[in-house]
Amino acid sequence: MPLCTAAPVFVSDHDRAALQALVRQHSAPQALVMRAQIILLADRGVGVRPTAERLGIGRATVQRWRRRWSRASARESALERLVDAPRPGTPATFSPEQICAILALACEPPERDGRALTHWTHAELAAEAIARGIVTSISPDSIGRFLREADLKPHRVRGWINTPRDAQFDEKCRDVCETYRLAPERAAAGIETRSIDEMTGVQALERAAATLPLRPGRIERRAFEYIRHGTLTLIAAFDVASGK
């Protein structure tokens, strides 16, 4: 009786490159890596039994993912073919409207019971959502999950400055560029062109205790207290023509 041979698996050049990149990723989920290896081995003509033995998995797993790859639509990417199909679960506890209201709350200035907060925490957001009647009850963990899914980080703040536009910027820019352009000619005539900048209010600090070096199992430690020796102003002059 002839042996049963598994149906060949077709992999395009684009999908093959995507699968190989997935296998090389150190942070990729191992389940996806294993499935990508199954398809790459099938693309090289390796049978079901040798693939299962090489990867240390059951033949049913190899057959299932070979079959799912072959039946998937060509419009799906390589990663989409390897992910698990959606599974039915318990009904959602919170409606989309409630989740949107919680996310909108996280974007508001942090304030609870008339007092300003430094930032929104998961616990504070949960308490405020309940106080406003958005939900009857919710845990800080659920708040954190909604924020992660929306990529919102209300606990982080980054400073920025909006410099007003100078009405004479173009004119000043032309003057500076022209000065730099003529610097070599003026240097030949004995005229120096220098660019000067300064950093004011630099604190001269000294640690109150010596820094302890790192050692196995412990990072480098620096003293929190310091001795202030006043402030300094650093001034630097750059010779445009010579670069010194």
Which pLDDT score is estimated for 1? 42
Q: What is the pLDDT of residues 91-113, one digit of tens each?
A: 778 888 999 999 999 988 888 87
What CA–CA distances, in Å, run from 87 to 4, 62, 83, 84, 90?
A: 32, 21, 12, 8, 10
Q: How far apart are CA 148 and CA 158, in angstroms?
A: 18
Residue 206 near residue 225, CB atoms below 8 Å: no
Q: How far apart are CA 198 and CA 236, in angstroms?
A: 6
Task: Give alpha helix (H) positions in 44-182.
Answer: 48-55, 59-71, 78-82, 96-106, 122-131, 140-150, 169-181
Which residues of the chain are modeled with pLDDT < 50?
Answer: 1
Q: Render the burial of 93-116: b for 16+ CB within 10 Å, e for the rest.
A: eeeeebbebbbebbeeebeeeeee
Long-range contacts, 29-38 (Cβ 8 Å, 24+): 32/79, 32/82, 32/83, 35/65, 35/82, 36/78, 36/82, 38/62, 38/65, 38/66
The angle subtended at Cα 15 by Cα 10 and Cα 21, nearest 5°, is: 130
Q: Going by C-beta distance under 8 Å and a sequence separation of 6 or more, which residues neighbour residue 69?
A: 9, 11, 39, 42, 81, 82
Residue 224 near residue 180, CB atoms below 8 Å: no
Which pLDDT score is estimated for 3? 54
Which pLDDT score is estimated for 4? 62
Q: How far apart are CA 117 and CA 123, in angstroms?
A: 12
Q: What is the pLDDT of residues 121-144, one digit of tens each?
A: 999 999 999 998 999 999 999 999
The 3-state DSSP class for residue 206 equals strand
Q: Two tokens at 35?
A: 């499935």
Residue 152 near residue 107, CB atoms below 8 Å: yes
Residue 125 near residue 166, CB atoms below 8 Å: no
